[in-house]
Amino acid sequence: MRRLVLVAVLPLIACGGEKSKIEPAPVATGARIVAAVGGDSSKIEGIAVWQGILYVADWKDGTIYRVDPRAPVPAAQAAGRLGTHPGQTILGLITDAQGNLYAAIPDSGVVLRVAQARLGAADFDPAKDVSIYATAVPGANGLTFDAGGKLWVAGGDHHALYAVPAGGGAARVFARDYSAVSTDTTMPVRGYTVNGVAFDKAGRVYTGNTGTGEITRFEVKPDGTAGQKSVFAQDPLLIGADGIRVDDQDRLWVSCNYRNALVRIDPSGAITELAASGPEGPFHFPAELKLVGGVVYLANLNFPVGANTGTTDHRATIAVVAP
């Protein structure tokens, strides 16, 4: 990969205690912002994809937007509303094999569902078109489906990983309190110890600890309970781990929000930083990511902390990296 090396030292952030230094990092030549979403005060965290179309949800008013990144000028188009109240946090998004959309609502402890056929309907009505798919998931954050159709939900700052029966319903706790909170008090997102969730081909499940950069791996027993736990990777390059996806080569792709970075971990555990930026972008506190072939799309949550301190671009945006 060709790389451009940043020579400026990125800003420091202090929230009490010692300051954490964010080092400059390489930027992939294929990294750029592909689309802006919403307007003033819009925020997006989750991102989903179905048949090449990207979906995000705006915290400002619950609007679901879709973006076709293949268009000559990609633009965010409203496709419905989740019915959340203004400013309510909307975290992980995912689609199933039929394109139905699921959204994690952490403060309510639910996952909402919208049928693919209703997305973009002129008469879309949240009261009719949005249903509760899963309950008992406080802190609901990252989402993924396993091979058997169960929905798995990362519990974020509730320090738990949940499993939802195929077809929906009340979740059960798969594992809790298995990754320690970082002692670095300069990091405002250190409480998210179970952030992002993904499966490899062997059916093992992975989550990330945002504050420590730890990627935890669990074996899943035939009865669905937790088997052996191990630390798959832990490195300063993984500080800020947020979204996690696994590709068809069993490589983990990790968006590191606090570092404005995209990192890949090979099955051997070898870590490669693929792209990163300072506050000038194109990364602005990247949260979830999705893979489309060899292309990576990231939702810029755009909190002005860590490597994103001092940003002058306050939009909600989608970044793309084509390694």
d(CA 274, CA 253): 10
Tokens standing for 169?
């319903």
Domains held by the chain: number? 1
Mind giving me the DSSP string for 210-256?
Answer: TTTTEEEEEEE-TTS-EEEEEEEEE-GGGTTEEEEEE-TTS-EEEEE
Residue 126: enclosing H or E segment and its boundaries?
helix 126-129
Kindly report, residue by residue over 257-308, the tens digit of the pLDDT. Answer: 999 999 999 999 999 999 999 999 999 999 999 999 889 999 999 999 999 9
Higher pLDDT, 20 or 166: 166
Q: Which residue has the tokens 């001092």?
A: 310
Mind giving me the DSSP string for 68-79?
Answer: -TTSSS--EEEE
Q: Is residue 208 assigned to a domain?
A: yes
Q: Which domain holds residue 168?
A: 30-321
Q: Is residue 10 assigned to a domain?
A: no
Angstrom distances, CA of residue 85 to CA of 58, 59, 82, 89, 107: 11, 9, 9, 9, 12
pLDDT band for 316, please (50, 70, 90 cuts): very high
d(CA 19, CA 305): 12
Cβ burial 105-128 (10 Å sphere, 16+ → b, else e): bbebbbbbbbeeebbeeeebebee
Q: What is the dihedral of CA 151, 84, 311, 72, to 10 degrees?
A: 70
Higher pLDDT, 8 or 112: 112
Report the CATH number at residue 315.
2.120.10.30
Kindly report, residue by residue over 20-61, the tens digit of the pLDDT. Answer: 344 445 555 579 999 999 998 999 999 999 999 999 999 999
Q: Is residue 96 assigned to a domain?
A: yes
d(CA 293, CA 295): 6
Give me the pLDDT at residue 102, please: 98
Give me the pLDDT at residue 26, please: 52
Mean pLDDT, rounded, for 231-244: 97
Kindly report, residue by residue over 99-121, the tens digit of the pLDDT. Answer: 999 999 999 999 999 999 999 99
Task: Look at 5-9, 17-21, 159-163 and tell me which has the smallest mean pLDDT.
Answer: 5-9
Give me the pLDDT at residue 25, please: 52
Cβ burial 17-27 (10 Å sphere, 16+ → b, else e): eeebebeebbb
d(CA 53, CA 47): 10
Q: Is residue 240 assigned to a domain?
A: yes
Q: Is residue 4 assigned to a domain?
A: no
Asked whether 43 and 302 are in contact (CB, 8 A), the reply is yes
Give me the pLDDT at residue 1, please: 32
d(CA 203, CA 90): 27
